[in-house]
Structure 1
């Protein structure tokens, strides 16, 4: 069925291996963490939050999150219901992150409900709003719906590389060159109001999209 969660022994094993490779890879990097929202201060940011970042920046974010606030905050990552999503779920699990399976193309409503429950339970959620299939750097509506329904603020995450390889995937995935410097910015929180009208919803969708696009150098190449 098209709505089922897909997982296999192979995808689970590959995910665990990928997660440990990510950890070892990130240990070679020189991180600069910029905390504009107070995540790194244990008593400053109360309540759960929604992290938003572009799909092609995700490689270093679990390690950066763990360094900044992983000792006292819990978080889950939204991954697709496909085998690739299972691999990613296992990979981020190596960093102590949980996962919710689903996407705009498969199990979208069920995933939104699960994410709302996660936020009610006090756990942060991470969403790549142009995933799992793009278009690149176009923010889909799910993140705004989640923020509107839950009342949790959105924290845009930007990743800047001094040196990185660009893959040929749809998102032009970035892999930082080992021993290079990476700057990860946890931006100021955006509080999305509840009960938005159609025009207001689009205004907020565009506002968050623009904020995320401001942290990348190549979004004009997305078309």
Structure 2
């Protein structure tokens, strides 16, 4: 285990693994038939003021397609954890920019960067249960970012026909080539700028519930046993004093248009 960690810490090894991961994801993307109803995304992006997208850590493999073509520029909030560094290297090949926490200020620095970007009209992607879980429980980074910027949170999830759910903490969905996939966007969550602690907690629970609903429905639609949230301690309650120091990161039209590729 120590040898594996040392190898992953080596920049050359990390770059190689990241590039190989990128090539595999691109292979799966090119051979998968996607169904994407992006009407909610387009409606929120119509004013050009940016927004926040959330998806579970275990569903990030093919969600690059959720932003193709992207609304404005899309950034991912990534932790400074070892896995986060590998993910950052991989998604840069997909031309997705990253916002990272530094060792001195941690998540507070990342949320400051993200706030600035959203206020400039960009989109930020956050995995509220990352980088270590508990699985499918939302922490407060996205909620605080929405409060600070006044922009909505758009829950997103994905399901696919040919997959294997790994035994990792997040039950990572590894997709295989030549299958089908569907991306769904949930009901946006709006967080009042002057919300008190009870309102912030209600918004957090609403976000978590909507993300789990999307994920459960997609698993059932593709004939997989639904992945359940991990039993564990409840996330820290939010207050209205300011941004949390540990944000989760990896912490309409009359008729919907359905795009297939």
TM-score range, shorter chain: 0.7 to 0.9
SS in 2 for 1:194: coil
**Residues in 2 aligned to 1:195 and 1:42: alpha-carbon distance in whole angstroms:** 21
The reply on whether 1:13 has 2:12 as its aligned counterpart is no
**Residues in 1 aligned to 2:14 and 2:99: alpha-carbon distance in whole angstroms:** 16
The reply on whether 1:115 has 2:114 as its aligned counterpart is yes
* RMSD of aligned alpha carbons: 2.2
Q: CA deviation at 1:186?
A: 2.4
Structure 2: unaligned runs, 5 residues or longer: 1-8, 217-225, 232-261
Change (3 A) 1:42 1:155: closer
Mapping of residues 122-133 of structure 1, within 5 Å = 122-133=121-132
Residue 230 of structure 2 corresponds to 222
**Residues in 1 aligned to 2:76 and 2:97: alpha-carbon distance in whole angstroms:** 6
**Across the two proteins, how many residue pairs are aligned to each other?**
212
**Residues in 1 aligned to 2:181 and 2:107: alpha-carbon distance in whole angstroms:** 32
The reply on whether 1:98 has 2:101 as its aligned counterpart is no
TM-score of the two chains, using structure 1 as the length reference: 0.87
Change (3 A) 1:113 1:7: farther
SS in 1 for 2:139: coil
SS in 1 for 2:48: coil
Residue 66 of structure 2 corresponds to 64
Residue 29 of structure 2 corresponds to 26
Structure 1: unaligned runs, 5 residues or longer: 1-5
Q: CA deviation at 1:174?
A: 0.3
Residue 135 of structure 2 corresponds to 136
Q: CA deviation at 1:43?
A: 7.2
Q: Is the 8 A contact 1:51 1:155 kept in 2?
A: yes
Q: Is the 8 A contact 1:162 1:180 kept in 2?
A: yes
**Residues in 1 aligned to 2:125 and 2:97: alpha-carbon distance in whole angstroms:** 10
TM-score of the two chains, using structure 2 as the length reference: 0.75
Residue 159 of structure 1 corresponds to 158
* Deviation string, structure 1 residues 61-114 (Cα, Å, up to 9, x no partner): 013322xx32x52111011112321211121112221001129xx811111111
Structure 1: which 4+ aligned runs deviate by more than 6 Å? none
SS in 1 for 2:53: strand
Q: CA deviation at 1:184?
A: 0.3
